[in-house]
A and B are shown apart, each in its own frame.
Chain A
Amino acid sequence: MKFLKSFGQFWYDFIIGDDWKIAVAVVLALVALFAVMKADVLGDAALTVLGGAGIVVAFAISLAIDVRPKRR
């Protein structure tokens, strides 16, 4: 039982980790890419570059929120 709990904890740490905002940022960036792809206005090359840039920006925002000075 204790081992199963550790195994569950492993997957929680794996996906959510110390900062749940990273998983949310990645999902949001991929959903945005999906929406742009469905609009059918860009080719593969532009979509992939946009998608990659979107993920980088989403991570940067999540980390910026994470390390912002906290109000006391």
Chain B
Amino acid sequence: MDAATWGLIIATFVACFVEMVEATTIVMAMGYTRSWKSALIGTLAALGALAVVTVFAGYALATWLPESALQLAIGGLLLIFGLQWLRKAILRSSGRKAVHDEAAIYKEEVAAAKAAGQSTGSIDMFSFMVSFKGVFLEGMEVVFIVITFGLNADNIPGASAGALAAVVIVLIIAIALRRPLSMINENLLKYGVGLLLASFGTYWAVEGIGIFQSGRESLDWPGHDLAIIGLLLAWLVLSRIFVAVLKTPAAPVAPANVPVEVKK
């Protein structure tokens, strides 16, 4: 396997891992508090819907768009998406934004589950809908990443393998631990994903501008795929400069007072 394929698998693996951790927190809260059966049915329904979306969106994009247009449109979206993650990671690393905390999110979901009225049917609709929504919306980001990476790198199986490996590993950890995966440094992972998405997004979006040339050919980066490593370094250096400049002076803050984000 070449470096580009490894980069593809690692990027989809880490991105999917982060999203899976978030979805697992929601499903666990519903399962332990209300109904495992309804939470798992909601999860399966969401995974089925995601599979349908992946097949249709992937087929439609690959069939109807020329390569350079695909690179520009999808690379541009991937770039914007990646830079949003990178911005959050910079702000979190520099102490300007609350840290994402799965344990706090779990408590919030449990409180919402307890506050909701009891269901009378065989399926607890509250557990079903919350699990479905959580898995579907978190999964949409993964689907987008798998499709964009897969189509642009012309390697859907590689991108899918990275995502699938993440799903399996998160499930194994969750089943083994039987509690929210708050020990995983999600913020660091998101920083890494932000860097990867920004690098691949820049590479493809710039290549795709070639659609407006007379031959509609993609622009050629010097060094081809190796240019992605240069871009990765550029984004890493820029982000570290921002973190260093923005970092608030180290103050003795008690761990209990560290701001956490409970927004999903």
Contact = CB atoms under 8 A, between A and B. Distances in A.
B231 interface: yes
A67 B222 contact: no
Nearest to A60: B238
Interface in A24-64: 25-27, 30, 33-34, 37-38, 44-45, 47-49, 51-52, 55-56, 59-60, 63
Determine the main DSSP class of B at the interface with A: helix
B238 A59 contact: yes
Interface residues of B, number: 41
Contacts of A37: 209-210, 212-213, 219
B34 to A, nearest CB: 18
Interface residues of A, number: 33
A34 to B, nearest CB: 6
Interface in B204-260: 205-207, 209-210, 212-213, 219-222, 227, 231, 234-235, 238, 242, 246
At the interface, is chain A mostly helix, strand, loop or mixed? Answer: helix
A25 B84 CA distance: 12
Given A10-B140, A22-B83, A55-B202, 11 more contacts: A14-B77, A19-B84, A30-B205, A45-B222, A47-B206, A48-B220, A51-B202, A51-B206, A52-B202, A52-B234, A55-B79
Q: Which 10 A-B pairs have the closest CB atoms?
A: A51-B206, A17-B84, A45-B222, A44-B220, A48-B221, A22-B83, A44-B219, A23-B80, A48-B219, A55-B202
Interface of A: 3, 6-7, 10, 14-15, 17-19, 22-23, 25-27, 30, 33-34, 37-38, 44-45, 47-49, 51-52, 55-56, 59-60, 63, 66-67
